Amino acid sequence: MKLRTRLKTDNTIPVAAMADIAFLLIVFFLLTSTFAKDTGLDISLPKAETSQDLPKRDVTIWITGSGEVHIGGTVVPPDRRQIVAALREALKDKSIQSVTIRGDEGVDYGDVVRVMDIAKQNGAAITLAAVYEEGSDEMTPIVR
């Protein structure tokens, strides 16, 4: 009598197909994701040796070399009342009242102090942005 032999099943995982699927998923997510960027203002941040990385703040205020104030990407006239109104509007729905000030290194010191004063009077924690001095081009906020 002839004995039947069973066919053995192959218990291997198709790794090549799984790698193809993982690669396609990576490409899909890279193509469909969006990256947050700061607005393209021409600001040259001052350099500091003691800067450190901090988490991104809720509201960003840019002060250009010509003294223009931008709050959250919107140009605000230099009038104190309008800066206060724009800052309150930007902070009203935020859970943490925090502001990052990115002032051009050529901006008048009085303009930066005026904006810091307005932010502080509205209860915001203030962070000043600077570039690490040893050749790093990344903007790293420092706390004062």
Tell me the pLDDT tens digit for each residue of 25-84.
999 988 888 766 555 556 666 677 666 665 565 788 888 888 888 887 788 887 888 888
Report the pLDDT value the prediction gives residue 138, as an integer from 0 to 100: 53
Residue 39 lies in a domain: no
Residue 1 lies in a domain: no
Residue 109 lies in a domain: yes
CA distance 43 to 106: 9
CA distance 83 to 77: 7
Report the pLDDT value the prediction gives residue 122, as an integer from 0 to 100: 84
Instruction: Enter the tokens of residue 89.
Output: 């509007």
Number of structural domains (the chain) is 1
Report the pLDDT value the prediction gives residue 41, as an integer from 0 to 100: 59
Residue 33 lies in a domain: no
Q: Where are the extended beta strands (E) located within the chain? A: 47-48, 59-63, 69-71, 74-76, 98-103, 125-132, 139-142
Residue 105 lies in a domain: yes
Residue 31 lies in a domain: no
pLDDT at residue 19 tops 70: yes
Give the mean model confidence (pLDDT) for residues 95-102: 80
Taking the alpha carbons of 51, 56, 60, 66 in that order, is the dihedral positive or negative? positive
Containing structural domain, residue 114: 47-142
99-112: pLDDT as tens digits = 888 888 888 888 88
Contact between residue 80 and residue 117 where contact means Cβ atoms under 8 Å apart:
no
Residue 86 lies in a domain: yes
Selection from 116, 144, 129 nearest residue 47 by Cα: 129
Residue 100 lies in a domain: yes
Token look-up 């943490």 returns 96
Q: Is the pTM of this model over 0.75?
A: no
Report the pLDDT value the prediction gives residue 136, as an integer from 0 to 100: 47
